[in-house]
Amino acid sequence: MNSESVDYQDKIIQSIKKLRIERGISQAKLSELLGLSRGQIGNIENPRYSHKYTLKQIDIICKHLNYPIERIFIPNVKIAPECSEAVNAVISSIIKYE
């Protein structure tokens, strides 16, 4: 894995961490939501480890927090609501494929 993809993954993880903290969600609560241990969430959020969220986990987090998943991956692009539905359909299909 090259450093560009590691940097991108870290940006995604840090965006989710920031969102989690802003919404008052503890690592323990997030671990319950995702069916992971609290230690796994800590490892994911720690940049020293190579752990990361799966697309399915990111989808669960965004749905639980009522946050558009596309804003996690492309935060500076505003997407029309009708396109947001298409994005969610594509992500759901990718998750089924995995």
The structural domains of the chain, with segments of one domain joined by +, span 3-97
Q: What angle do CA 26, 95, 68 make, to 5 degrees?
A: 50
| pTM of the full structure | 0.88
The 10s digit of each residue's pLDDT in 2-39 is 777 778 899 999 999 999 999 999 999 999 999 999 99
Comparison of pLDDT for 35 and 97, the residue scoring more: 35
pLDDT band, very low/low/confident/very high, at 81 (cuts 50, 70, 90): confident
User: Which of 48, 37, 58, 45 has its CA nearest to residue 14?
Assistant: 45
Contact by Cβ (8 Å): 69, 91: yes
Q: What is the mean pLDDT of the chain?
A: 91
User: Residue 55 pLDDT > 90, yes or no?
Assistant: yes
In the block, which residue shows the tokens 């323990």? 28
pLDDT for the residue numbered 51: 87
Token pair for 23: 């919404």
Instruction: Give the separation between CA 52 and CA 72, rounded to whole angstroms.
Output: 14
CATH, domain range 3-97: 1.10.260.40
User: Residue 83 pLDDT > 80, yes or no?
Assistant: yes
pLDDT band, very low/low/confident/very high, at 60 (cuts 50, 70, 90): very high
pLDDT for the residue numbered 1: 63
- Residue 98's Cβ-side half-sphere holds a number of Cα atoms within 13 Å equal to 9
Q: SS3 for 2?
A: coil
User: Which of 38, 35, 15 has its CA nearest to residue 27?
Assistant: 38
